[in-house]
Amino acid sequence: MNLLLLFLMTINSDKTVEVRYTDIAPRIDGVIEEVWQIADSAYDFIQFEPYENEEPTEKTVVYVLQDKENLYFAFRCYAEKHKPTSCLTADEDDIRIGIDSFDSKTTAYYFQVFASGIFHDGWVLDNGRTFDDSWEGVWYRAVKLCDDRFEVEIKIPFKSIRYKKGFDKWGITFVRYTAHNREVACWNEFLQKEGVLISKYGTLTGINPQATGYYFELYPEGYLRYDRDWVKDTTEFKPSMSLNFKWDLTPQTTLNATVYPDFAQIESDPFELNLSRYPTYLDERRPFFLEGKEIFRMADFGDMGFFDPLEIFYSRKIGKLVKNDAVPIIGGLKLTNKSNDWNIGALGAYTSEYYDSLGEIIIDEPNQWFGVLRAKRSVFENSDIGMLFSGAMIDKDNYNYAFGLDGAYRKGANQFVIQGAVSDKNEKRGWALNTGYFGFIKNFIMFASAQAIHESFDVSDIGFVPWSGQKKLLVMSGPYKQFQKGFIRDYFIAPGINVIQEPGDSNWSTIGVTEINTHFRNNWGFDFNVGAGPYYEADTNYFYRNINLSVWGNLFGNHINFGGDYTYTYNYLRNFLAYQSSTRFSYTHSIIPQLSIGLASYLWVEWDTRNTIVAMWPIFRPRIDIRFNADMSLSIFNEIVTQMPGTDFNETELLSNRFGLLFSWNFLPKSWLYVALNDYRVDEEGSLHSQYQIGAIKAKYLLYF
Per-residue pLDDT reduced to its tens digit, 1-48:
444 444 444 444 579 999 999 999 999 999 999 999 999 999 999 999
* Cα separation, 246 vs 263, whole angstroms: 18
User: Cβ-count burial of 250 within 10 angstroms (0-12 exposed, 13-18 middle, 19+ buried)?
Assistant: exposed
CB 96, CB 119: distance < 8 Å: no
Picking from 118-132, 163-177, 318-332, 650-664, which range would have the lowest pLDDT averaged per residue?
A: 318-332
* Cα separation, 90 vs 205, whole angstroms: 36
The mean pLDDT value for 107-111 works out to 93
Residue 503 lies in a domain: no
Per-residue pLDDT reduced to its tens digit, 543-559:
999 999 999 999 988 99
Residues 54 and 178 in one domain: yes
Provide the 3-class DSSP secondary structure of residue 215.
coil
pLDDT at 10: 42
User: Cβ-count burial of 285 within 10 angstroms (0-12 exposed, 13-18 middle, 19+ buried)?
Assistant: middle
| Domain C-terminal end among 179, 205, 231 | 205
* Confidence category of residue 263, pLDDT binned at 50, 70, 90: low
pLDDT at 264: 52
User: Cβ-count burial of 395 within 10 angstroms (0-12 exposed, 13-18 middle, 19+ buried)?
Assistant: exposed
Picking from 244-253, 520-529, 653-662, which range would have the lowest pLDDT averaged per residue?
A: 244-253
What is the 3-class SS of 581-607, one letter each residue? EEEEEEEEEEEECCEEEEEEEEEEEEE
pLDDT at 269: 64
Report whether pLDDT(690) > 70. yes
Picking from 36-50, 80-94, 199-213, which range would have the lowest pLDDT averaged per residue?
A: 199-213
Residue 538 lies in a domain: no
Q: Which residues contact 390 (CB under 8 A, 6 or more apart)?
A: 312, 313, 370, 371, 372, 373, 401, 402, 459, 462, 463
pLDDT at 230: 86
Picking from 74-78, 297-301, 389-393, 525-529, which range would have the lowest pLDDT averaged per residue?
A: 297-301
The mean pLDDT value for 125-140 works out to 85
pLDDT at 601: 95
Nearest Cα residue to 631 out of 587, 664, 661, 585: 664
Residue 322 lies in a domain: yes
Residue 155 lies in a domain: yes
Residue 496 lies in a domain: no
| Domain C-terminal end among 205, 234, 269 | 205
Residues 297 and 414 in one domain: yes
pLDDT at 646: 83
Nearest Cα residue to 501 out of 561, 455, 457: 455
Residues 150 and 9 in one domain: yes
**β-pair partners for 581:** 566, 605
* Confidence category of residue 268, pLDDT binned at 50, 70, 90: low
CB 290, CB 341: distance < 8 Å: no
pLDDT at 323: 64
pLDDT at 463: 94
The mean pLDDT value for 364-392 works out to 92
Spell out the alpha helix ranges (H) of 280-368.
287-290
Residues 31 and 176 in one domain: yes
**Domains contained in the chain, number:** 2
Residues 200 and 283 in one domain: no
Per-residue pLDDT reduced to its tens digit, 42-68:
999 999 999 999 999 999 999 999 999
The mean pLDDT value for 653-669 works out to 92
Residues 143 and 292 in one domain: no
Q: How far is CA 525 from the centre of its chain?
A: 21
Residues 8 and 126 in one domain: yes
pLDDT at 362: 61
Residue 364 lies in a domain: yes
CB 377, CB 342: distance < 8 Å: yes
Number of H helices, E strands in the chain: 2, 44
**Single pTM value for the model:** 0.85
Per-residue pLDDT reduced to its tens digit, 567-577:
999 999 899 99
Residues 187 and 309 in one domain: no
386 or 270, higher pLDDT: 386
pLDDT at 262: 66
pLDDT at 4: 43
Report whether pLDDT(326) > 80. no
Sign for the CA dihedral angle at 22, 25, 31, 33 comes to negative
pLDDT at 428: 95
Residues 181 and 307 in one domain: no
CATH number of the domain where residue 43 is located = 2.60.40.1190
pLDDT at 649: 81
Residues 161 and 12 in one domain: yes
The mean pLDDT value for 609-621 works out to 93
219 or 500, higher pLDDT: 500
Pair type for strands 361-365 and 329-338? unpaired
Picking from 211-215, 516-520, 548-552, which range would have the lowest pLDDT averaged per residue?
A: 211-215
Mean pLDDT over each residue of the chain, to the nearest integer: 89
Residue 186 lies in a domain: yes
Report whether pLDDT(688) > 90. no
Residue 583 lies in a domain: no
Instruction: Tell me which residue range forms the domain holding 194.
Output: 2-205
Residues 50 and 167 in one domain: yes
| Domain C-terminal end among 156, 184, 205 | 205
pLDDT at 650: 81
Residues 178 and 50 in one domain: yes
The mean pLDDT value for 244-248 works out to 85
pLDDT at 236: 87
